[in-house]
Amino acid sequence: MSNLAVINLNGGEFSPKIDARADTEKYASGCRRLENMIPKIYGPVEKRPGTELIAISNEDGTYGLPGSSVNDFSGDANCKAVWNLDNGALTTDSKGTNTLTNSGVTADTGDFKEGDASGGFNSDQLSITDASLDAGFPLKSGDANKKISVSFWMKINAKPTGLVFWACATKWSSSGSKRSFGAFVSDQGSTVTRVSLLIGFNGGASTEIILDTTVDIVADRWYHVGVTFQDSDKSFRIRIWDDTAQSVTETTGNSTNNINIEDAGFELGSADGDAFSLNGKLDEVVVFNDILSSGEIDKIRNGTYP
């Protein structure tokens, strides 16, 4: 625009297309940019009312931007894997070197909870062999620690039927009796779907099934799930956040059996190769070789960890 003295701004903000039109009637009463201001009819402008959204308060008193994840696991030595399942990086472990092998999983950039995508599963899997797992990864063959915590976002496309189990995060193989650990969703009859923790025992030949009984998982709804197990006292935790209902529930207790350690691979969306295949989505899968508290699981969900 031409350099004219402007003492009246009630003409408002002008388009750059009339920058050189000093002959227009309102040219002397406007400007190129008038951001967050309101012109008054008698000449001056004033700041518009209102506030800017900076952050939303979380349940634990911390703050995080809506729809974003700013979790920082870099300083936590007990965090052994973080699979963000982002577009172009479905197999990448952003914490360690536990790179997954992709067997058909696609990135869903239109429906996700963290980053820029989620992993879409339909008889597909992401997996890594036991031998390729980083040292210290929980339940890796030879592990004497026998503690594991897994958290993840989950959405199923439909309810499973026929008393089947759909795998979310597992170290499990029925072949050769290599059952160890698994977080599943399962059909319990009468259209009831539960988050389930499966523990392998008896040398991996047998299974103990631990069911959360607080939440009936609904299709096309995001849930954040935290599952922990400590072998020394056989204690477990299953914590579930319903993102639609904005509610959290938790089931705790002790298993009957101690967990079995085997050399089965770690898989997302399946167990034992292509068995127990998930029909749904997963996002931000995080694995620890320690026991997360309820508050720590909530911080991961809120994107405010540690």
227-262 pLDDT, tens digit each: 999 999 999 999 999 999 999 999 999 999 999 999
The gap between the terminal CA atoms of the chain, to the nearest Å, is 51
The four Cα atoms 148, 242, 187, 166 give a dihedral, to 10 degrees, of: -50
Give the predicted TM-score (pTM) of the model.
0.79
pLDDT value for 74: 95
pLDDT value for 12: 78
Which residues belong to CATH 2.60.120.200 in the chain? 70-302
Q: In the CATH hierarchy, which top-level class contains the domain 70-302?
A: mainly beta
pLDDT tens by residue, 50-94: 776 655 454 444 444 444 458 999 999 999 999 999 999 999 999
Q: How far is CA 265 from the centre of its chain?
A: 22
Ranges under pLDDT 50 in the chain: 1, 56, 58-68
H-helix or E-strand spanning residue 294: helix 294-302
Q: Using alpha carbons, select from 38, 44, 34, 36 the residue that is nearest to residue 14.
A: 34
pLDDT value for 42: 78
pLDDT value for 66: 42
pLDDT value for 117: 96
pLDDT value for 216: 96
pLDDT value for 69: 56
pLDDT value for 65: 44
